[in-house]
Amino acid sequence: MNAEFPRTLSLLRQEKGVSQRAAATALGISQALLSHYENGIREPGLSFVVKACDYYGVSADFLLGRTLSRDGTTIAAEELYDLSDEKGNSLKGSVLAMLSKKLLVNSIGALFDLLSKTGNREAIQASANYLSTGVYQIYRRLYQASPSYNPDFFSVSPRHFEAGLADADMKCDLAELEDALAAQDKEKIPLPEMGHEALSQNYPVLYQSLYQLIHGAGERINGLMAARRSK
């Protein structure tokens, strides 16, 4: 089993709204054994995995963290969805957080592997800086929402942050990335193959997440344009 299995097993039970005792009874094992499974202390056999899939209504691939699709199917481009737009479905709370995290972690993993293949240190650093500032902004907004918010925790003053200096930093990072890639093109240094077939073959698991992320972002961006045109 992989590291995702215990957490997914626990989160699915919480999502279903049943106690560990009730779930264990339904699955035909003791509560203590289910606790061991959910905490990664012991690994279950195939028969338990099958029972758990039936009980929670998911595929074995989903339970084992091999796919983001609950029924285990390969997601085609037209079937991809944006998790952030989901409303009223079963992906709520901690399960949504886990899947969203996996989507981003997998996508960034594929992205930085591609960047490493360019051998372009400047491009790698600019990309890392851009994403780091994005994480910084989200964390700062979350921190500011806390009742115990202390503005002195951050070296950038609230006034400068609200003025958009972090956004400016990200734009500078993108400019540095473009300069680094332009220099690589000028020196005729080839980039890694990034066609659909090549990425599917080189990143059979990670590319599914990257493809879904790209599709979701594209849908949001096109939605903004459609909204502007309708005014």
The answer to whether the Cα torsion of 183, 137, 222, 92 is positive or negative is positive
Determine contact, residues 134/217, Cβ cutoff 8 Å. Answer: no
Q: Where are the domains of the chain?
A: 4-73, 93-230
Q: CATH fold of 4-73, please? A: 434 Repressor (Amino-terminal Domain) (1.10.260)
Residue 156 near residue 165 (C-beta atoms within 8 A): yes
Residue 74, pLDDT score: 47
What are the backbone angles phi and psi of residue 205, rounded to the nearest 5°?
Answer: -100, -50
Q: What is the pLDDT of residue 35?
A: 94
pLDDT digits (tens, 9 = 90+) for 161-186: 999 999 999 999 999 999 999 999 99
Residues of the chain with pLDDT under 50: 74-86, 89-91
Q: Which two tokens stand for residue 211?
A: 């493809």
- Report pLDDT for 192: 92
Residue 55 confidence (pLDDT)? 94
pLDDT at 18: 93
Q: Report d(CA 143, CA 156) in Å as an integer.
A: 14
pLDDT tens profile 114-131: 999 999 999 999 999 999
Please report the pLDDT score of residue 1 as a whole number: 57
Return the pLDDT at 101. 84
The pLDDT score that the predictor gives to residue 73 is 55
